[in-house]
């Protein structure tokens, strides 16, 4: 019994008032993940947009609804917004990167807020959320590479967005369960979905010896993101540990073959 | 419950699963152990497990399907890491001491490599699904182009080793037309070519089953596998956070079950 209580208390240090996402301010507020956009001569970013609310009606509605897409730069500042009209039960694959003007910014985040929130969500005291599917074209390839969102990060009220992420009381380690191969190159994008500045430490460990190869430290603005590269000089496989006060510091991983010419993207 | 990590298969591709003997965070699992590396498969009447090695703490191990020459053809191979030896034969899917984590789950890198150069993976795991559950899934992944080919890889794992034959329905976006009906089998990796189904670029694929649950993975290959893309759908419960999201999920399933029943043959 005492052992059980001790175990619960110990776990409580990591879970008490530290949800992945806080409750939005009102049931009418839509929620979105923060997705990564990339834009350059090598990159195009797409998003599959459809009216989630229409799935919850028995008879397809003819009412036109919309979704507001808000773009942020890597420092977390809003740089643009765009409203897209949606027909019920139809998918629109939108080239997100075409909404980013200028060549100064090459990556950042965006959020998608739906206008159609069926009353059934309010009745169940739930919040409609866009978890998304982003896809990337790299090096003018015909294929789009898909990855879904990985955080219920942000909500929207009175024409402005607000973050839902919560900071952890204790420093946490997120150990990416992926073998970093020395015949591949990687980029990791981490998003700060909290209202506090976050100090993030990336530690690369040699897979064979478990010794530290490299440590990189970053400070990320609220709503901002950071792109870090793997250590391309290391010989042998390695793994990544991310230490921060983020409840879950899951990175988006962009993976490039060196011997084999391929590109892939996934989330941690 | 013991998580399993399937080995994938797809045209022109080899399944590659990398399992990791370290937890994904520093607070849910306090003590880790050297573990057995297992491959488990069903022959339709019982589960078989073969130990292919051990994995020390903090190490990873790459499993290639072609190295598992003891497997019968077209078998769904499930890799796992266990503290104890799993039985070589069992009537239900073997289990072991719970080393599960939640934030996130203890996962493997599950992927495909093409002989034409492409390589893709996602971080995932599989647990046994309850038999006779139903599935509803919304997927936007169709890509069109002369050099592109798309496949659905539908993975089902159940505790019982039996092979049940059933159907997977592809509905149109409004849910009033069955675009295709495909035979699928439990405890199998079911591969379905999507290019043959008459969807439009603006259509969502709606997957529906009456008595089987699985993981729908969508794979698109460029030039037979020069480049690969792989992603799974979100379960519809993830359209909502907080509150009674499972109650909402149940209502959504009821709406689409009604739509399905009203489709005229």
Contact, B13 vs B111, CB < 8 A?
Answer: no
CA–CA min distance B131, chain A (Å): 25
Residue A58's pLDDT is: 86
Q: If DSSP codes are grouped into helix, strand and coil, which group holds residue B143?
A: coil
Which of 2.60.290, 2.60.120, 1.10.3470, 1.20.140 would CATH assign to domain A31-163? 2.60.290
Residue A261's pLDDT is: 86
Mutate to test the interface with B, among A45, A59, A124, A206 (most CBs of B within 10 A): A124
Strand partners, B78: B6, B40
Pick from B117, B120, B231: which is nearest to A133 by CB?
Answer: B231
Query: Residue A182's CB: how many other CB atoms inside 10 A?
Result: 16
- Helices (H) then strands (E): counts for chain A: 2, 20
Contact, B214 vs B31, CB < 8 A?
Answer: no
- Please state, in angstroms and rounded to a whole number, the distance separating the CA atoms of residues A27 and A119: 10
Residue A174's pLDDT is: 97
DSSP B76: -
Query: Residue A9's CB: how many other CB atoms inside 10 A?
Result: 10
The residue in chain B having the minimum alpha-carbon distance to the alpha carbon of residue A13 is B27
The pTM of the full predicted model, rounded to 2 decimals, is 0.95
CA–CA min distance A27, chain B (Å): 10
Residue B160's pLDDT is: 98
Q: Do A56 and B252 touch (CB under 8 A)?
A: yes
pLDDT tens digit at each of 268 positions of chain A? 888 888 888 888 888 888 989 999 999 999 999 999 999 999 999 999 999 999 999 887 777 899 999 999 999 999 999 999 998 888 999 999 999 987 788 999 999 999 999 999 999 999 999 999 999 999 989 999 999 998 878 999 999 999 999 999 999 999 999 999 999 999 999 999 999 999 999 999 999 999 999 999 999 999 999 999 997 788 999 999 999 999 999 999 999 998 888 999 999 9
Q: Domain A167-267 classified CATH 3.40.50?
A: no
Provide the residue count of chain A: 268
ipTM score for this prediction? 0.94
For chain A, domain boundaries: 31-163, 167-267
The residue in chain A having the minimum alpha-carbon distance to the alpha carbon of residue B103 is A248
Query: Residue B200's CB: how many other CB atoms inside 10 A?
Result: 11
Residue A60's pLDDT is: 72
Kindly give the pairing relationship between strand B189-193 and strand B205-209: unpaired
Residues of A in contact with B118 (CB under 8 A): 262
Edge-to-edge strand list for the sheet holding B148-155: B189-193, B148-155, B215-222, B227-232
Q: If DSSP codes are grouped into helix, strand and coil, which group holds residue B235?
A: coil
Contact, B230 vs B121, CB < 8 A?
Answer: yes
- Please state, in angstroms and rounded to a whole number, the distance separating the CA atoms of residues B21 and B81: 8
Mutate to test the interface with A, among B227, B232, B261 (most CBs of A within 10 A): B227
Query: pLDDT by residue (tens digit) across B226-263?
Result: 999 999 998 899 999 999 999 999 999 999 999 999 99
CA–CA min distance B130, chain A (Å): 25
Residues of B in contact with A14 (CB under 8 A): 27-28
- Residues 6 or more apart whose Cβ sits within 8 Å of residue A3: none
Query: pLDDT by residue (tens digit) across B154-173?
Result: 999 999 999 999 999 999 99
- Please state, in angstroms and rounded to a whole number, the distance separating the CA atoms of residues A216 and A244: 12
Mutate to test the interface with A, among B172, B222, B229, B230 (most CBs of A within 10 A): B229
- Please state, in angstroms and rounded to a whole number, the distance separating the CA atoms of residues A229 and A244: 18
Residues of B in contact with A67 (CB under 8 A): none
Contact, B172 vs B54, CB < 8 A?
Answer: no
Tokens of B39: 């491959």
- Please state, in angstroms and rounded to a whole number, the distance separating the CA atoms of residues A106 and B22: 34
């Amino acid at each position: 019994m005492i052992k059980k209580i001790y175990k619960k208390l110990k776990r409580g240090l990591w879970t008490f008032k530290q949800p992945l996402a806080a409750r939005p301010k009102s049931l009418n507020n839509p929620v979105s993940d923060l997705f990564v956009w990339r834009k350059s001569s090598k990159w195009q970013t797409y998003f599959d947009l459809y009216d989630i609310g229409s799935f919850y009606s028995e008879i397809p509605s003819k009412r036109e609804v919309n979704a507001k897409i808000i773009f942020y730069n890597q420092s977390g500042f809003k740089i643009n917004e765009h409203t897209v009209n949606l027909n019920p039960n139809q998918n629109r694959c939108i080239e997100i990167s075409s909404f980013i003007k200028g060549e100064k910014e090459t990556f950042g985040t965006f959020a998608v807020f739906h206008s159609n929130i069926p009353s059934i969500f309010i009745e169940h005291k739930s919040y409609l959320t866009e978890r998304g599917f982003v896809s990337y074209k790299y090096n003018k390839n015909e294929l789009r590479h898909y990855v879904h969102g990985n955080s219920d990060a942000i909500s929207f009220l009175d024409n402005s967005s607000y973050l839902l992420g919560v900071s952890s009381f204790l420093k946490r380690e997120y150990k990416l369960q992926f073998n970093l191969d020395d015949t591949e190159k990687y980029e990791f994008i981490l998003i700060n979905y909290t209202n506090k500045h976050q100090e993030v430490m990336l530690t690369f460990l040699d897979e064979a010896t478990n010794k530290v190869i490299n440590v990189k430290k970053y400070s990320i603005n609220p709503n901002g993101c950071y792109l870090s590269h793997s250590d391309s000089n290391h010989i042998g496989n390695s793994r990544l540990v991310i230490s921060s006060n983020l409840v879950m510091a899951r990175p988006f991983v962009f993976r490039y073959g060196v011997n084999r010419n391929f590109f892939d993207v996934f989330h941690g | 419950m013991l998580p399993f990590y399937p080995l994938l298969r797809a045209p022109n591709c080899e399944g590659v699963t990398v399992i990791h003997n370290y937890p994904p965070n520093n607070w849910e699992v306090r003590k880790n152990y050297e573990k057995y590396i297992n491959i488990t498969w069903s022959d339709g009447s019982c589960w078989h497990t073969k130990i292919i090695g051990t994995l020390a703490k903090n190490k990873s191990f790459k499993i290639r399907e072609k190295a598992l020459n003891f497997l019968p053809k077209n078998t769904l191979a499930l890799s796992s890491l266990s503290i104890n030896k799993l039985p070589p034969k069992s009537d239900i899917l073997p289990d072991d001491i719970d080393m599960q984590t939640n934030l996130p789950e203890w996962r493997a890198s599950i992927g495909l490599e093409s002989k034409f150069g492409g390589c893709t993976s996602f971080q995932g795991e599989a647990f046994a699904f309850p038999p006779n559950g139903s599935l509803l899934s919304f997927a936007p992944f169709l890509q069109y182009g002369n050099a592109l080919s798309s496949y659905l890889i539908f993975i089902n794992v159940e505790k019982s080793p039996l092979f049940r034959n059933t159907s997977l329905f592809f509905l149109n976006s409004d849910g009033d037309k069955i675009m295709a009906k495909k035979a699928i089998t439990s405890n199998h990796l079911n591969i379905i070519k999507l290019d043959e189904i008459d969807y439009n670029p603006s259509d969502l694929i709606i997957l529906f089953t009456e008595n089987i649950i699985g993981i729908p993975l969508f794979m698109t290959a460029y030039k037979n596998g020069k480049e690969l893309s792989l992603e799974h759908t979100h379960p519809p419960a993830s359209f909502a956070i907080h509150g009674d999201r499972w109650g909402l999920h149940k209502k959504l399933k009821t709406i689409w079950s009604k739509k399905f029943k009203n489709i005229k043959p």
